[in-house]
């Protein structure tokens, strides 16, 4: 007789808006509570950053050793997946979900490690900051001026059974930073001059609060009756399902701002719980005949959309606006996203003509035109 399939583990994410708000500390405090209840829990990876209160909070919890890996003459420590899978606890604590693993690791990203643990039937508790969510990448860069290179696809966040925001007022966080609780003095001063400015922290906190409210809302709608998650005490939803009435289409072009447009469209689709399409239309008989540099850019954007779990299509038509709108109506699109890039004079005429035709003939749907962001001028 075949063994019964392994029940997938549950994922709990502790979400913050900046380093030092207390995500890891709270996760460890909850870990102690689970241990008191007789739950078999281990720490698979912990990164306390030298913070004494976090190190003290980990005392009494089983910590699995890390594996050492050599890369370019240096030795790094990563989470030991084999040790965790062999130990097979009920719950595994994994700090810093957005982390990129050392080349040669089993997975490129730590969130991929976590997905493997979940598939093995192990519940996971993990931490991340809101700026690492892929769909917020452009917005966070605009707010902070700091590009975030380690991101998590939004669909990974959707895997979470519970999302808990660990909050701390920005002024209190800055006080902790100034007292050397978050970083050593020299690093703290650099942080205060860059990412840790109060207006930036206030804006990021507001985004995190909105995102958490959204995550709670969709889980209340989706969670079937049957009780709270094993790794938390969330209130179960009513089991109702919402039938999507909105459908979003993102017009893909070769222009760099298309990545920003895809993020925007996907985020709107997620909030509306709507299907999302990314569509490129070319006028050549064969897409392979499209100029190589432009084709590579389009393929890069389509691959990016697929990584976000957006359905992609490449269409051929002599008239781009007609082809795009025919597809939109066939698929009951209600919102269409287009980018208005910086064009040369001739391209500008063609581009504006396309946008004007779309707007004129798409009165049965909402059309959003997003301007390409220009880098700030430096005098």
Looking at residue 379, its pLDDT comes to: 42
Task: Spell out the domain ranges in the chain.
Answer: 11-222, 247-371
Q: No. of H helices and E strands in the chain?
A: 13, 13
**E strands of the chain, at which residues?**
11-16, 41-45, 62-63, 67-71, 74-78, 91-94, 123-129, 162-165, 247-252, 275-282, 311-316, 335-340, 366-371
Q: Residue for token digits 């007292």?
A: 179
The DSSP 8-state label assigned to residue 230 in this structure reads: T
Q: What pLDDT does residue 226 have? A: 47
48, 24 Cβ separation under 8 angstroms: yes
Domain 247-371 has CATH 3.20.20.70: no
pLDDT at 345: 52
Do 223 and 236 contact (CB within 8 A), yes or no? yes
Q: CA–CA distance from 61 to each of 137, 275, 345, 348 (Å)?
A: 35, 43, 65, 62
Weakly modelled stretches of the chain, pLDDT under 50: 1, 225-243, 346-351, 376-379
Q: Which fold has domain 11-222?
A: Rossmann fold (3.40.50)
Structure tokens at 321: 């606006």
Phi, psi of 57 (to 5 degrees): -65, -25
Do 11-222 and 247-371 come out as alike in CATH topology?
Answer: yes
What is residue 219's predicted lDDT score, i.e. its pLDDT? 67
Q: What angle do CA 118, 80, 62 make, to 5 degrees?
A: 85
Q: Return the pLDDT at 373.
A: 59
Which pTM does this prediction carry? 0.74
CA 113 – CA 133 distance, rounded (Å): 17
Question: From CA 158, how far away is CA 218, in angstroms rounded?
Answer: 9
DSSP structural state of residue 287: G
CB atoms under 10 Å from CB of 324, counted, come to 25
The predicted pLDDT at position 244 comes to: 55
CA dihedral 136, 141, 146, 151 (to 10 degrees): 20
- Largest Cα–Cα distance in the chain? 74
Q: Quote the pLDDT of residue 359.
A: 87
């Amino acid at each position: 007789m075949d063994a019964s399939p392994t029940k997938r583990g549950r994922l709990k994410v502790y979400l913050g808006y900046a380093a030092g708000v207390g995500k890891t500390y709270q996760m460890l405090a909850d870990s102690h509570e689970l241990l008191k209840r007789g739950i078999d829990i281990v720490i698979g990876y912990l990164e306390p950053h030298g913070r004494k209160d976090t190190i003290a909070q980990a005392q009494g919890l089983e910590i699995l050793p890390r594996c050492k890996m050599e890369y370019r003459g240096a030795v790094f420590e990563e989470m030991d997946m084999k040790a965790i899978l062999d130990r097979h606890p009920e719950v595994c604590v994994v700090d810093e979900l957005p982390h990129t693993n050392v080349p040669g690791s089993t997975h490129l990203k730590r969130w991929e490690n976590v997905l493997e643990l979940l598939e093995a039937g192990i519940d996971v508790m993990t931490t991340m900051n809101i700026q690492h969510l892929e769909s917020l990448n452009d917005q966070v860069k605009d707010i902070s001026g700091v590009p975030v290179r380690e991101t998590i696809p939004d669909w990974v966040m959707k895997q979470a059974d519970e999302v808990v925001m660990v909050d701390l007022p920005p002024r209190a966080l800055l006080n902790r930073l100034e007292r050397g609780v978050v970083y050593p003095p020299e690093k703290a001063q650099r942080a205060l001059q860059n990412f840790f400015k109060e207006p930036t922290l206030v804006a990021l906190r507001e985004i995190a609060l909105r995102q958490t409210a959204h995550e709670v809302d969709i889980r209340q709608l989706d969670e079937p009756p049957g009780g709270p998650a094993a790794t938390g005490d969330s209130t179960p939803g009513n089991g109702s399902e919402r039938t999507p009435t909105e459908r979003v289409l993102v017009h893909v072009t070769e222009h760099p701002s298309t990545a920003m447009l895809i993020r925007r469209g996907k985020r709107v689709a997620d909030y509306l719980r709507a299907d999302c399409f990314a569509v490129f239309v070319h006028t050549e008989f064969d897409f392979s005949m499209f100029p190589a540099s432009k084709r590579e850019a389009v393929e890069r954007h389509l691959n990016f959309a697929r990584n976000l779990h957006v359905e992609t299509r490449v269409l051929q038509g002599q008239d781009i606006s007609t082809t795009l709108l025919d597809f939109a109506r066939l698929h009951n699109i209600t919102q269409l996203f287009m980018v208005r890039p910086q064009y040369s004079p001739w391209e500008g005429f063609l581009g504006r003509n396309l946008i004007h035709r779309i707007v004129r003939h798409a009165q049965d749907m909402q059309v959003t035109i997003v301007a390409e962001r220009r880098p700030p001028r430096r005098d």
